[in-house]
Amino acid sequence: MKSLIDSGTAATVENPVAGIDQTKGDFTYDVAYEFDAGTGLSARTVDYISSVKKEADWIRAFRHQALQVFQSKPMPTHWATRDLENIDFDRIRYYLASGQKPKRTWDEVPEDIKRTFERLGIPEQERKFLAGVEAQFDSEAAYSNIKEIVAKQGVIFVNSTEGLREHPELFRRWFGKVIPTGDNKFSALNSAVFSGGSFIYVPPGVKVAQPLQAYFRINAENFGQFERTLIIADEGSEVTYMEGCTAPKFSTATLHSAVVELVALKGAKIQYITVQNWANNVFNLVTKRGLAHEEAEIKWIDCNIGSRLTMKYPGVVLKGRKARGEVISIALANDGQHQDTGAKMIHAADETTSNVVSKSISVGQGRATYRGQVHIPKRLRGCKNNTECDALLINTNSRTDTYPAITVRGERNSVQHEASVSKVSEDMIFYMQQRGLTEGQAMSLAVNGFINDLARQFPMEYSVELKRLIDLEMEGSVG
Amino acid sequence: MSSLVIHDLHVSIGDKPIVKGLSLTVNSGEVHAIMGPNGTGKSTLAKVIAGHPDYTVTGGDVLLDGRSVLEQEADERARAGLFLAFQYPSEIPGVSIANFLRAAVQARLPEGEEIDASAYYKRLYAKMDLLKIDRKFTSRSVNEGFSGGEKKRCEILQMAMLEPKMAVMDETDSGLDIDALRIVSEGVNALRGPGLGVLMITHYQRLLSYIVPDFVHVMYDGRIVKSGDKSLALELETRGYDWVKQELAALPA
C-alpha cells in the first residue's frame, strides 16, 4: 500500500519529526561501506569481524565457540512457526560498516548516513528530551553521545565495541552471564557475529533523569543486524533506556537478531522501552533478559509493530530477595505478520514479585501469539506473579493464541492469570460512525482505547508515536 | 432552516418487512414524538435514518435538507447533521468521553485542519455546565460501567457538543428512574431551539410530560396511523394502544 522507495536526495529530507509513521523508515540511501564481511557465515566471517574490531583473544575465542553452538543447534521448529526455515543463512551479509569509531557530533557523521537519521528525527529528539543517543547504522554506531552532565556523574554510554575496548573488566564480568551463548540458536548466532548495541554502566546511587536512547537502523539489503546490549545498573541507581528500530522495505528478507542483557544490582531500577517498527520482511528474533538482585526492579516495556516474524520473550531472573520484574507488551500483527511474543519470569528468591501485562491486536490475517513462562520453585515463599493477556481481533479471519506455562510449586506463593479475547463489535463501530468518525477512524480509536492503559506508561513522545503508528496500521484494515 | 423528510419509507430485515410506507416531516425548531406499542418498528426507523447497515430500504426515501441520505454511510450522515441518541449506547473501553468527542469534532473539520484544543475544552466545559454535568465525567471511558442514567446523559452531552440539525432520540427514557428522567429531560429542553429538530421515539407517555412535543404520532405495524398535538399523548395514556388498534380495525380495508 505505501511503497515509497526513495532514491534519496537531500531535498527529500523534509520535516523529519512530522514524518513519524509507518512509511517513515521505508527509504534507503546508497552508502559506501568501508568494511564488508561478504555473504554467508563461516569461521572466516567471525575472524573478519574480530580482526576489524581489533578484539582481544578471549572474545575471538568466545565468538568461535558460539559459532559452533549455533551450527550444532537445531531450529526450534517443534513449537515455533515453520517460517523460521525460510531464513537462508548463506545469503545474509553479517557485517557492514562505514567506520569503526562512532562520531561524537552530528557534524562529523558522514553525510550519506547523517541524512538517514535526520530524516528519522533522531538529532531533534536528542535535543528535546534525551540524556544520550547512540545511532547504529547496519553493523556499527555512526553516532554516540552522552550529555556532559550525565557523563560527569560517571555514567558510561558507548557502543559494545567501545565497551569491550575501553571497559574490558566491567564488560567481561557480566557479558554472557544473563543470556549464555547456548540459550537458544539465535543467541548463539548473535554471540558469534555481534556488533554494535549499547554498553551502559550507571554508578551506585546515580539516577539518570532523562532516558538514554539507541536507534537501530538497517540500511542494506540481505543484511543481518546483530547488536549486543549490556546494561549494568549499580546499587541504588536508576536508568531508562529506549530503543527504536526501522528498516526499508526490501524484496528479500532481512534478519535482526539481538541479545540484550540487563543487570540490576541491589536496589537498582532499569526500565527498558522498545518501540520497533520493522518493515514487514524482517525476521526479528531477539533474546532479552534481565537479572534483578535484591530489591532491584527491571521493567520491560515492549511494543512490537511490523516485521514478518517477531519472536521475543523478555524475561527477568529474580535472583535477590524482594526483586521485582515486569513486562508490559503491546503487539500488533497485520496481514502477513506473526507477532510471537511473551514474557519469562524466573523467581529464584523469596518475596519476589512479577507482573506481566500483554495486549495483542490481530488485524486481517495477522497472527498474534502469547507465550508466557512463570517459574516459582517449591523452596521459595512469599512470591507473587500476576499475568494478564488480552487479545483484540479486528477481522473475522484474524488469529490469536495464548500459551501460558506457569510452574508454581509449594503453597506459600501466589499466582494469578487472566486472559481475554475480544472483538471490535459492529455495534461499537456503528456507534462511533454515528458520531461522524469514518470506519477506519473508529477502528483506530477502538484499538488505541484497548491499549490505552499500557500506552500511558510510555514517555509522552513515544506514546504519541505509538498512537500514530496504530492509526496508520488500522487505515487499511476495513472495507 | 433544516428539514428531515421521510417519504413512503419501506424497510426490511432480511425478507421481513418492518416499516411499511411511513411518511413524516420534521422541521427545525419542532419536537415530534413517535409513540407506539413494542415491535411496531420504532427503533428500526431510528436506526435506518442513522444508516445502520443491518437494514435494507426497499422503498421510499429519507431526505435531509432536500438531499437523500440513503446512499450515504452512517458517518457521512452524522457529519451532515444527523444525530441518533441510542437506546443502548455502546461502551468504548479505554477511550475517554473527552477524547471521543474530540475525535468526533475533529472529524467535522476540513482535511488538514487541526482542532484547537483549548477552544475545544472551553466549549466542552461550557456545555457540561449547561447540562449540569460534573467535570470529572468526561475523563471516564465512554459508557464503560455507566448506570442507565449516566449513559443517557453521555448521549445528551454528545448531542450538545456535535450540534446536529436533526436529532433522533430512541427510547431515551428507557431504563431511567424518575430522577434520571428529569435530569435527562432538562438537558434536552436546554438544547431545544430554532436550530434543532427532534424526533423522539418512546413507548411511554411519561417522557412527554418532561419534554413537551409539538406533534405526536402513533406508529403501528410499520406505519404512522394517527397524528395530533400533545393532547394525543394524553389520550393514549388514558385509553391505551388498544384504542388505536380498534379504531384501525373499524376502518374499511
Region of residue B112 (phi > 0: left; psi between -120 and 50: alpha; otherwise: beta): left
Number of domains in chain A: 2
Task: Tell me, yes or no, whether A462 lies in a domain.
Answer: yes
Together in a domain, A96 and A234: yes
pLDDT of A17 higher than 50? no
Q: Which residue has the higher pLDDT, B37 or A261?
A: A261
Closest of A247, A198, A245, A246 to residue A222, by C-alpha: A247
Identify the pLDDT of residue A15.
29
CA distance A48 to A54: 10
- Is A437's CB within 8 Å of B107's CB? yes
**AA identity, residue A342:** G
Say how far apart CA A334 and CA A394 lie, in whole Å: 10
Is A92 in a helix, a strand, or coil? coil
Of B44, B82, B35, B86, give the one whose Cα is nearest residue B63: B82
Query: A359 lies in a domain?
Result: no
Angle between helices A185-193 and A57-72 in degrees, nearest 10: 150
Integer Rg of chain A from CA: 22
A138-185 confidence digits (pLDDT tens)? 888 888 888 888 999 999 999 998 999 999 999 999 999 999 999 999
pLDDT of the residue at A16:
29
For residues A8 and B217, which has the higher predicted lDDT (pLDDT)?
B217
Mutate to test the interface with A, among B75, B114, B140 (most CBs of A within 10 A): B75
Could you tell me which residue, A167 or A130, shows the higher pLDDT?
Answer: A167
Q: Is the pLDDT of residue A66 over 80?
A: yes
What's the pLDDT band for A33 if we cut at 50, 70, 90? confident
Q: Angle, nearest 10°, between helix axes A439-455 and B97-106? A: 150
Measure CB to CB from residue B90 to each of A427, A448, A453 and give the nearest one.
A427
Q: How far does the CA of residue B161 sit from the closest CA of chain A (Å)?
A: 10
* Most confident range, picked from A126-140, A144-158, A258-272: A258-272
Ranges in chain B, pLDDT < 50: none
Q: Which domain holds residue A88?
A: 10-312
Predicted local distance difference test score (pLDDT) of residue B45 = 97
Provide the pLDDT for residue A212. 92
Residue A199 is predicted with a pLDDT of 96
Q: Considering only alpha carbons, which residue of chain B is nearest residue A439?
A: B75
Residue B153 belongs to domain spanning = 3-250
pLDDT in tens, A206-220: 999 888 988 888 888
Sheet holding A132-137, edge to edge: A140-146, A132-137, A212-217, A238-246, A269-278, A297-306, A324-333, A353-362, A384-393, A414-423
State how many domains chain B has.
Answer: 1
Write down which residue in A267, A291, A312 finishes a domain: A312
Report the amino acid identity of residue B142: V
* Confidence bin at A20 (pLDDT 50/70/90): very low
Of B21 and A136, the structure prediction assigns the larger pLDDT to: B21
Does residue A411 surpass a pLDDT of 60? yes
Residue B157, sorted as left (phi over 0), alpha (psi -120 to 50) or beta, turns out to be alpha
Measured between beta carbons, the chain B residues lying within 8 angstroms of A427 are 90
Q: For residue A66, give the 3-state DSSP assignment.
A: helix
Q: Which of A286-290, A436-440, B232-236 has the lowest mean pLDDT?
A: B232-236
- Which pLDDT belongs to residue A25? 72
Question: Average pLDDT of A420-439?
Answer: 93
Whether residue A19 has pLDDT greater than 60: no
N-to-C CA span, chain A = 14
Cβ distance A437 to B104 less than 8 Å, yes or no, reads: yes
C-alpha cell at position A78: 517443534
Chain B environment of A430 (Cβ under 8 Å): 52-53, 74, 90
Q: Is residue A437 scored above 80 in pLDDT?
A: yes
d(CA A214, CA A193): 20
**What's the CA gap between A459 and A347, in Å, rounded?**
28
Out of A312, A330, A355, pick the residue that ends a domain. A312
- Give the model confidence (pLDDT) of A372-397 as tens digits: 999 999 999 999 999 999 999 988 88
Interface of B with A (CB under 8 A): 50-53, 73-75, 78-79, 83-84, 86, 89-95, 100-101, 103-104, 107-108, 141, 158, 162
Tell me what pLDDT residue B120 has. 95
pLDDT score recorded for residue B252? 67
Residue A380 forms part of a structural domain: no
Same domain, yes or no, for A118 and A249? yes
Q: For residue A465, is pLDDT > 80? A: no
* Residue A12: per-residue pLDDT: 30
Task: Please report the ipTM that was assigned to this predicted complex.
Answer: 0.96
Q: Contact A433/B74, CB-based, under 8 Å?
A: yes
> Which residue of B54, B55, B87, B90 to mutate against A (max A Cβ within 10 Å)?
B90
The reply to whether A349 falls in a domain is: no
CB distance A436–B100 less than 8 Å?
Answer: no
CB-nearest to A434 from B74, B91, B95 is B74
Asked whether residue A225 falls in the same domain as residue A86, the answer is yes
CATH of residue B216's domain is: 3.40.50.300
Contacts of residues A31-35 at CB distance under 8 Å and 24 or more positions apart, as own/partner, are A31/A98, A31/A112, A31/A113, A31/A137, A31/A219, A31/A220, A32/A98, A32/A112, A33/A96, A33/A97, A33/A98, A33/A138, A33/A220, A34/A97, A34/A98, A34/A99, A35/A95, A35/A96, A35/A97, A35/A98, A35/A100, A35/A139
**So what's the pLDDT on residue B235?**
87
Total beta-carbon pairs less than 8 A apart between chain A and chain B: 76
pLDDT band for position A23 (cuts 50, 70, 90): low
Instruction: Specify the higher pLDDT residue, A311 or A459.
Output: A311
* Residue of A426, A427, A449 with shortest CB distance to B95: A449
C-beta atoms of B95 and A438 within 8 A = no
User: Considering only CA atoms, which of B192, B142, B136, B200 is closest in space to residue B171?
Assistant: B200
Q: Are A287 and A256 in contact (CB under 8 A)?
A: no
Domain stop point among A253, A281, A312: A312
CB B55 within 8 A of CB B239: no
User: Mutation test of the interface with chain B: which of A434, A437, A453, A466, choosing the one with the most B Cβ atoms within 10 A?
Assistant: A434
Across the interface, whether the CB atoms of B75 and A449 are under 8 A apart is answered no
Confidence band (pLDDT; 50, 70, 90) for A325? very high
CB proximity list for A438: less than 8 A, separation 6 or greater: B73, B75, B107
Q: Taking the CB of residue A334, how many other CB atoms lie within 10 A of it?
A: 23
